[in-house]
Structure 1
Amino acid sequence: MPYITSVHESLPYIDAEPTPDQRAAAEALIAAERATQPDDPHHALLREEHTPKFSEAMQAEIARAAAKKPLDAIDLTRYEVDDESGDKSVEELQQSLAQAYTAQTYLRGRRAHLALLDSYGKNAWLVGNWQVEADVKRVEADLAATKRDIDVVTVQRQRVQQEAAAEMRDLEATWRTGVGRVLETEAAAEELRLQVLEARRQQAGQ
């Protein structure tokens, strides 16, 4: 995957706003350059899109949830007790007794959990909220610090560009003057060449 390493510097504080023709020309150059590269929906610095790989059991569970089918992985009948014990055999009564013990154990644990939740749940919830608020404040402080750093860099960049504005204008004027002199020299040389050719033709005709 390619990485972007070039940095395009601009001078927004001293450069003049481009004209519509200049903007159209720049957009045409950008479009021409983009046409040479295949369209990539992702940024070059981003990782490729992650494709999750689920196990067969997880895929079956996702399909069940998508189809809105009830969960039947847990047999709830083991927690049910049949009160009708008149015509049951000893084995059936033992099975019912085992189910009753299972239900009793579950209810005892459930009661203990509810008691713990009633005693310590509120404090645990408040502590959790306090931790979340602390995390939010820390992230907000980091964001504010980053924004301040961006503002400082922006101000420094503006000051540097404004300090160099006069020198850049002088250099631009010097460059324009030099280009004008080069063009004048080329025009004079071309005129002199034509005069030389004309003089040679006149000498050849005599």
Structure 2
Amino acid sequence: MSSSNIDALPYYDKQVDDPSLKAAAKALIEAELRQTPQIAPNDPRIPPNVEIFAKTKELSELLDGYPEHPIRGIDPSKFGVPRLEEDASLEDMMEAERRGRIGLGHMALRHDNIDLLATYGPNAWLVRNYQLNSQLTELQQTLASLKEQVTDVNRARRVAQEETGTHLSRLEGRWQDLVGATVQLEMACVAMEGEVRGLRSKEDELKKEVEELEAQA
């Protein structure tokens, strides 16, 4: 990582611990975000939402209003044994016979389903559990790998920033030393200029004295 590409060293700079500086930095970030173009929800770069457990039309109708309203269950009364009054009419008897056939067919279908479930259910359940465990293991391995990659990236960032921060601190110290030396040199030059002016003034005075002595002689 090149130091020329680093404009912030959060692992090295400790100025962000100052509340006033932190507030100023947040204000600058918010101002920058307000000027940054926002990404539209339908941007093609954003992956589409994946519905893991898709609902069928029938299931959606069954869960409509849940949990505010209880789930509408199956009405078992239409599969029960029909009851007739002693003075039931022929139409009532025919309706009861029809409902009895429906109930009988329903019970036969349930019996067949139970037989199929008893025959193939345990093995299918074990196979599905094995598949889910395999998927879970794969996802856990992927998650662990991604976490390790994140840790490696953060570790590399920290090392690079600490090395860059140390280098910048060394350069800053050298710059301060050079600035101090320059200031001292300027002060020495000013002092020397004052001494030179004093010597020239004294030279002029001595020349005048010599001229006066020569004139008297």
TM bracket, shorter-chain basis: 0.5 to 0.7
8 Å contact from structure 2 (residues 15, 21) kept in 1: no
TM-score of the two chains, using structure 1 as the length reference: 0.58
Letter in 2 for 1:29: A
Determine the C-alpha separation between the residues in 1 that align with 2:162 and 2:69. 65
Q: Give, in angstroms, the shift of residue 100 of structure 1.
A: 0.6
Letter in 1 for 2:169: R
Q: Residues 92-131 of structure 1: matches in 2 within 5 Å? A: 92-131=92-131
TM-score of the two chains, using structure 2 as the length reference: 0.56
Letter in 2 for 1:173: G
Determine the C-alpha separation between the residues in 2 that align with 1:36 and 1:18. 20
Aligned position for 2:144: 144
Determine the C-alpha separation between the residues in 2 that align with 1:164 and 1:75. 73
CA RMSD between the two structures:
4.6
8 Å contact from structure 2 (residues 82, 96) kept in 1: yes
Q: Residues 27-46 of structure 1: matches in 2 within 5 Å? A: 27-30=22-25, 32-33=27-28
SS at match of 1:62: coil
Correspondence 1:62 to 2:57: no
Determine the C-alpha separation between the residues in 2 that align with 1:151 and 1:32. 29
Aligned position for 2:20: 25
Count residues with an aligned counterpart. Answer: 169
Q: Give, in angstroms, the shift of residue 110 of structure 1.
A: 0.7
Identity of aligned residues (%): 21
Aligned position for 1:132: 132
Unaligned runs of 5+ in 1: 1-6, 39-43, 49-56, 196-206
Label 1:161 to 1:71 Cα distance change in 2 as closer, same or farther (>3 A).
closer
Letter in 2 for 1:176: Q
SS at match of 1:88: coil
- Rg (Cα) greater in structure: 2
